[in-house]
Each structure stands twice: as structure tokens, then as C-alpha cells.
């Protein structure tokens, strides 16, 4: 048995341990300038790349892409249809958050988002690599929004983390680490893997666009639940901010990134589709896992 096989046997990408190992590794790859000693070494990459390959192949094998759109026009029709199906299939979960969920149940979902360090601003930064022209501008505008338009306290990561303690306090003695659905970690790790591995750039852009286009609906329903429970405005600010901002991001990514790519480089359409579908299937499992914890542990 090779060293890679032995290391692969230690971890499984479909377990919390496997996904936690991936998240830890990605954060080491994104180490700050003050901590160069934490950057992974070659031996670390051998284990992680084997794990990544198994995970990537597993997720790709589960999607249904019987007919790849042949051109940009067909891709646009395919994408709009997927986006509409997405809204319909996730709506029961977000209707529950809006209309029925207790404050602890709603807080669980917000806290799961905070628990998984997805380094979204770094993902947007990495997504611009290799681009030029208007495509790069579209993503640069997205990134500048993430940076709070230059205002330190308005950086999106900061606005999110300011609200996090409030929602975490609603969970009482619930051990969030122990109850973490595997798909919650996958949901954050997928974009990190796609952003850090350049062979997945097409999948990254598909997944990223679907994410941005679905945030306004999801956050609008979460905000209704927050308002129903009287969550103070300062703790709703992050979600309120993202409804109009991400509506614009989604439109811009479709019009200025995905469609130009599909028109000029139709060979990348498959990767764009795969990114959308893999993100979507993990997202659905994430919501199902979160609902299971809500039903079992919180009322």
C-alpha cells in the first residue's frame, strides 16, 4: 500500500473529521503574513490532495448532467431553469424559518454559518485570478462590497461576526461542534477548494454565481423570522445589507462573467454547470441536516 493510500484511509471526506481536516488545511493555505510557519508543507499536500480528489469525484458522480448546453443561449436557459427549481425546492426550509422556527432554531442556522470559516472575501479575491477586462471589474466590484466600500467596520466579515454572539447565546448548552451537519462544512469547503485549485475555476464561478443569486431570497425569509422574534436591528444588519447587495452581485456575475465566458469559451460550459449543480446538491443536504438538528435538539 502506498503512502497516499494509507493517508487516504485515515480520513473520509464524507465525515466531520475529513471536512474539518480540509477546512483546517485551507485556512493554513490562507495564512496571514504574520504566520508563514503555518503554511502547509509538501507532505501535507499529499494527504489533502488525495482526500480532495476523492471528494471531488464523489460529488461529481452524484449530479445529473445528461445534456450539457451547447452554447451560451442554451446555457442561459439551463441556468435560469435551475435557479427557479432551486427556489422551489429550498422554499419549505426557509418558509419554516420565516413563519414557524423558534428563536433558538433560527439562531442555529445563523450560528452554523458563523461556525464554518469559509473566508468568503478571500474566495472573491481568488476568483479574479487570470481574468481581465470587464469580467475582472465585475468581481472586483463584488470584492469591494465585501470590503465595506473601504470602511473598516462595514467589512462584511466584521458585520457578520458582530451579530454572531447574540445568535450563539440563544443556543444554550447545545454543543454546536458535536451537532454540526457534515454538509455544513462541505458548503463552506467547496468554494475554498474550488478557489484554491485552479483546475476548478469554472466550477467556482458557477457555484459562486448560484450562491450570490439565491442569497436575497434566503436572507429575506430569515429576516422575517428575526423580525417575528424581535431580534434587535443591529443583529439583523448583516442580513439586511446583503439583500440588495447580493441581488446586484448575482445579476452582474451572470451578465458580465458567466455569459461572456460561455459565449467566448463554450468548452467551459460543462464546468460552469457542474459547479452550479454540485453547490446546489450540497446546499440542499446542508439545509436538511440543519433542520434535523433543529427538530431533535431545539424547540
Q: Where are the domains of the chain?
A: 1-62, 71-297
* CB-based contact 98:222 (threshold 8 Å): yes
Buried b vs exposed e over 69-95: b needs ≥16 C-beta within 10 Å?
beebeebbebbeebbeebeeebeebbe
Q: How many of the other CB atoms lie within 10 Å of CB of 11?
A: 20
User: What share of the chain has pLDDT > 70, as a percent?
Assistant: 96
Q: Quote the pLDDT of residue 11.
A: 83
Q: Please compute, for residue 73, the number of CA atoms within 13 A of its CA located in the half-sphere on the CB side.
A: 0
How far, CA to CA in Å, does 25 sit from each of 14, 193, 199, 228? 16, 10, 18, 39
Kindly report, residue by residue over 82-97, the tens digit of the pLDDT: 999 999 999 999 999 9
Quote the pTM value.
0.93
* CB-based contact 37:43 (threshold 8 Å): no
Angle CA(292)–CA(240)–CA(251) in degrees, nearest 5?
90
* CB-based contact 65:273 (threshold 8 Å): yes
Kindly report, residue by residue over 221-237, the tens digit of the pLDDT: 999 999 999 999 999 99
Give the mean model confidence (pLDDT) for residues 280-299.
Answer: 96
User: What share of the chain has pLDDT > 90, as a percent?
Assistant: 90
> What does the mean pLDDT of the chain come to?
93
Work out the pLDDT band at 117, boundaries 50, 70, 90. low
**Which string of DSSP letters, residue by residue, matches 2-60?**
-HHHHHHHH--TTSHHHHHHHHHHHHHHT--TT-GGGSPPHHHHHHHHHHHHHHHHHHH
* CB-based contact 164:111 (threshold 8 Å): yes
Alpha-carbon distance 81 to 45, whole Å? 38
**Residue 1: partners with Cβ closer than 8 Å, 6 or more residues away:** none
Q: Quote the pLDDT of residue 66.
A: 84
Q: How many of the other CB atoms lie within 10 Å of CB of 109?
A: 23
Kindly report, residue by residue over 144-181, the tens digit of the pLDDT: 999 999 999 999 999 999 999 999 999 999 999 899 99
Candidates 3.30.565.10, 1.10.760.10, 3.40.640.10, 1.20.910.10; CATH matching 71-297: 1.20.910.10
Amino acid at each position: 500500500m502506498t503512502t497516499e493510500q494509507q493517508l487516504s484511509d485515515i480520513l473520509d471526506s464524507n465525515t466531520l473529521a475529513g471536512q474539518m481536516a480540509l477546512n483546517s488545511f485551507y485556512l493554513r493555505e490562507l495564512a496571514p503574513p504574520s504566520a508563514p510557519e503555518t503554511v502547509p508543507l509538501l507532505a501535507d499536500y499529499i494527504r489533502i490532495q488525495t482526500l480532495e480528489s476523492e471528494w471531488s469525484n464523489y460529488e461529481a458522480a452524484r449530479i445529473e448532467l445528461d445534456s450539457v448546453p451547447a452554447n451560451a443561449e442554451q446555457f442561459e436557459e439551463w441556468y435560469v431553469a435551475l435557479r427557479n427549481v432551486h427556489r422551489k425546492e429550498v422554499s419549505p426550509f426557509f418558509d419554516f424559518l420565516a413563519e414557524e422556527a423558534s428563536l433558538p432554531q433560527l439562531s442555529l442556522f445563523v450560528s452554523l454559518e458563523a461556525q464554518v470559516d469559509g473566508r468568503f472575501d478571500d474566495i472573491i479575491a481568488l476568483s479574479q485570478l487570470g481574468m481581465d477586462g470587464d469580467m475582472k471589474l465585475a468581481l472586483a466590484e463584488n470584492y469591494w462590497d465585501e470590503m465595506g466600500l473601504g470602511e473598516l467596520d462595514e467589512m462584511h466579515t466584521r458585520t457578520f461576526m458582530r451579530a454572531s454572539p447574540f445568535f450563539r447565546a440563544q443556543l444554550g448548552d447545545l454543543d454546536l461542534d458535536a451537532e454540526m451537519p457534515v454538509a455544513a462544512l462541505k458548503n463552506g469547503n467547496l468554494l475554498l477548494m474550488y478557489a484554491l485549485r485552479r483546475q476548478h475555476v469554472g466550477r467556482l464561478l458557477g457555484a459562486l454565481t448560484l450562491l450570490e443569486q439565491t442569497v436575497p431570497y434566503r436572507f429575506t425569509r430569515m429576516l422575517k423570522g428575526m423580525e417575528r422574534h424581535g431580534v434587535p436591528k443591529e443583529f439583523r444588519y448583516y442580513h439586511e445589507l446583503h439583500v440588495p447587495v447580493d441581488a446586484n452581485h448575482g445579476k452582474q456575475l451572470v451578465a458580465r462573467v458567466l455569459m461572456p465566458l460561455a459565449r467566448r469559451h463554450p468548452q467551459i460550459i460543462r464546468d460552469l454547470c457542474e459547479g452550479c449543480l454540485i453547490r446546489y446538491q450540497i446546499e440542499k443536504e446542508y439545509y436538511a441536516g440543519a433542520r434535523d438538528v433543529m427538530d431533535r435538539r431545539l424547540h
